[in-house]
Amino acid sequence: MLFAALALPGELAAQQTRYKLIDIGTFGGPQSFSFFGQARSLNNGGTLVGFADTSTPDPNYPNSNPLVGADPFIEHGFSWRKGTLTDLGALPGINSSNVSWVNDQGVPAGVSTTGNVDPLLGFPAANAVVWVKGHIFNLGTLDGGYESLATAINNRGQIAGFASNSTPDPISLFGLGTQTRAFLWQNGTMRDLGTLGGPDAAALLMNNRGQIAGFSYESSLAIAAFVWENSKMLNLGSFGGSFTAPSWLSNRGQVVGASNMSGDTTAHPFLWTKAEGMKDLGTLGGTFGSANWVNENGEVVGAATNQGDEALVAFLWKNNVMTNLGTLDGDPCSVAININSKGQVVGASVTNCFSDSGRAFLWENSGPMIDLNSFVPGGSDLILTQGAYINDRGEILATGVLPNGDTRSVLLVPCGKGTEGCQDVVEGTAAIQKNRAPVTNSAITRTRRRLTPGQMLSAWRARLAQRYHIPGLGAPRN
């Protein structure tokens, strides 16, 4: 009776949670997708951005530009708002585009192939773009380079990203053949932000104050995180290793991410502030962790290993205390990807501890986790594998996967009882339990093997590389 009484508040909170699922769809092709992690694909006004396949085959596939991604079909950036899906198009010609970020005014920025071939690399060149009032604008490159990508746009209309120049670089950060530099674009001009002493840098994040976060080679060729402000690039430091990367930059100027420990065999999550510098947030008793997001209240989410590195588990760090958020239905591992200003957390609970795709979850009101597949309507074949982003209205961006492996960008919208398509977690849980395939004992045994710090470090770098479609990003250089 005591355990039942303790569990009751969480169960009641879960029963009150209702969502309506919206499959964003495509432009005639099989797939759609929205970036998450170091991206803002959903704003607080409910505008969702991403990219979707058209029905037009890509004539260059598989010789595709990694900044855009390999896809058998031409893909176009999209903007979705209040039930209307808009094809943003691409630069003139048979070109692909995708969107990295949308600001609070609904202005998207990203990348498009140009129709030209990069003579250094032999695949279609791609340039940073912004869409303003339905028109696409090419932001260009730096000093005769061929490649660029817009990674962020703030409410001032400033755009951050990275671009190649014409200086040959055998250790190019993104394998583009020439130096890659972080840029700030404003008022029609692209500005090179410099580096931390090495040849390359990339801007990944920007807030509404105009602060920019990213990473750069140092003179030693270690990769360090930076914040750029008032024409100065500040090295955020490290925990003794050769690789540090930021995951998010808040409007308060707080930065979170992960930094290798001395020896580069593992990494710890960090929170950086201008006043206190880089703070080690620790782990859940193990040796590895990574911070994925910080909200405007200074609350941090990510994943860290428990005692003995038996499992990688989602955490919430608040008021100097790291809380284990658990998993769904006894899954061995989980990862928290995003947290909004209300403290609602989304992420993935996984049976394979080396993946961040499994079952999407929502954690709120002190838990427990809610399986977002509870809100998939009957008759749908979608499986929600990741809760990718949650805005301050409680709207959730999720990744949906069909039985054939095609992905869909999915939006879950809070709704009231009686709303058409609205489903509460109790109804949905019953449907999941009825339709869920049994899990074999051999599968459970296989995925509960002990994690090694090196494997976790490789998986973390792989997730960072996936964000930019570039294999090997973040591998230490000797």
The first and second tokens of residue 435, run together, are 């339709």
Q: Categorize the per-residue pLDDT at 212 as very low, low, confident or very high, splitting at 50, 70 and 90.
A: very high
Highest mean pLDDT among 14-28, 254-268, 437-451: 254-268
Cα Rg of the chain, angstroms: 22
The 3-class SS string of 43-105 reads: CCCCCEEEEEEEEEECCCCCCCCCCCCCCCEEEEEEEEECCEEEEEECCCCCCCEEEEEECCC
Average pLDDT over residues 324-346: 96
pLDDT over 50 at 3, yes or no: no
Q: Categorize the per-residue pLDDT at 461 as very low, low, confident or very high, splitting at 50, 70 and 90.
A: low
pLDDT over 60 at 5, yes or no: no
Length of the chain: 478
Residue 419's region, left for phi above 0, alpha for psi from -120 to 50, else beta, is: beta
Q: Categorize the per-residue pLDDT at 42 as very low, low, confident or very high, splitting at 50, 70 and 90.
A: very high
Task: Output the pLDDT for position 429.
Answer: 53
User: What is the C-alpha separation between 232 and 438, in angstroms, rounded?
Assistant: 56
Task: Output the pLDDT for position 320.
Answer: 97
Average pLDDT over residues 11-28: 80
Average pLDDT over residues 134-141: 98
Of residues 428 and 9, more confidence is placed in: 428
Average pLDDT over residues 397-419: 95
Q: Categorize the per-residue pLDDT at 453 as very low, low, confident or very high, splitting at 50, 70 and 90.
A: low
SS3 145: coil
How many Cβ atoms are within 10 Å of 320's Cβ, its own excluded? Answer: 8
pLDDT over 70 at 72, yes or no: yes
Model confidence over 284-302: pLDDT tens digits?
999 999 999 999 999 999 9
Average pLDDT over residues 66-74: 94
2, with CB counted inside 10 A (0-12, 13-18, 19+), is exposed
Task: Output the pLDDT for position 330.
Answer: 85
Task: Output the pLDDT for position 439.
Answer: 30
Model confidence over 142-194: pLDDT tens digits?
999 999 999 999 999 999 999 999 999 999 988 899 999 999 999 999 999 99
How many Cβ atoms are within 10 Å of 449's Cβ, its own excluded? Answer: 12
Average pLDDT over residues 268-274: 98
Q: What is the DSSP letter of 30?
A: E
Task: Output the pLDDT for position 37.
Answer: 84
State the amino acid at position 131 in one-letter form. W
pLDDT over 70 at 321, yes or no: yes
Average pLDDT over residues 73-87: 98
Of residues 430 and 303, more confidence is placed in: 303
Task: Output the pLDDT for position 38.
Answer: 87
Q: How far is CA 359 from CA 87, 207, 258, 261, 417, in A?
A: 29, 30, 24, 30, 25
User: What is the enclosing helix (H) or strand (E) of 462?
Assistant: helix 453-467
Task: Output the pLDDT for position 473.
Answer: 43
Nearest to 18, CA basis, from 375, 382, 420: 375
pLDDT over 90 at 448, yes or no: no
Task: Output the pLDDT for position 354.
Answer: 73
Task: Output the pLDDT for position 135.
Answer: 98
Task: Output the pLDDT for position 17.
Answer: 86
Average pLDDT over residues 440-464: 47
Nearest to 245, CA basis, from 476, 475, 474: 474
b/e map 83-108, b = 16+ CB within 10 Å = eebbebbbbeeebbbbbbbbbeeebb
Query: To the nearest whole number, what is the mean pLDDT of the chain?
Result: 89
6 Cβ contact partners less than 8 Å away, ≥ 6 residues apart:
none
- The rounded percent of the chain whose pLDDT value lies above 70 is 85
Average pLDDT over residues 295-315: 96
68 Cβ contact partners less than 8 Å away, ≥ 6 residues apart:
75, 96, 97, 98, 111, 112, 113, 124, 126, 469
User: What is the C-alpha separation between 148 and 110, in angstroms, rounded?
Assistant: 9
Task: Output the pLDDT for position 297.
Answer: 98
Question: pTM, whole model, 2 decimals?
Answer: 0.90
214 Cβ contact partners less than 8 Å away, ≥ 6 residues apart:
160, 162, 182, 201, 202, 203, 204, 205, 225, 226, 228, 246
Backbone angles phi, psi at 400, to 5 degrees: -105, 145
Q: Categorize the per-residue pLDDT at 418 as very low, low, confident or very high, splitting at 50, 70 and 90.
A: confident
Task: Output the pLDDT for position 469.
Answer: 44
446 Cβ contact partners less than 8 Å away, ≥ 6 residues apart:
none
For the four alpha carbons of 153, 73, 347 and 213, in that order, the dihedral sign comes to negative
Task: Output the pLDDT for position 438.
Answer: 31
Task: Output the pLDDT for position 19.
Answer: 97
Q: Categorize the per-residue pLDDT at 353 as very low, low, confident or very high, splitting at 50, 70 and 90.
A: confident
pLDDT over 60 at 337, yes or no: yes
Task: Output the pLDDT for position 466.
Answer: 55
Asked if residue 236 lies in contact with residue 225, where contact means CB atoms within 8 angstroms, the answer is: yes
| 3-class SS shares of the chain: helix, strand, coil, % to 5 | 10, 50, 40
Task: Output the pLDDT for position 437.
Answer: 39
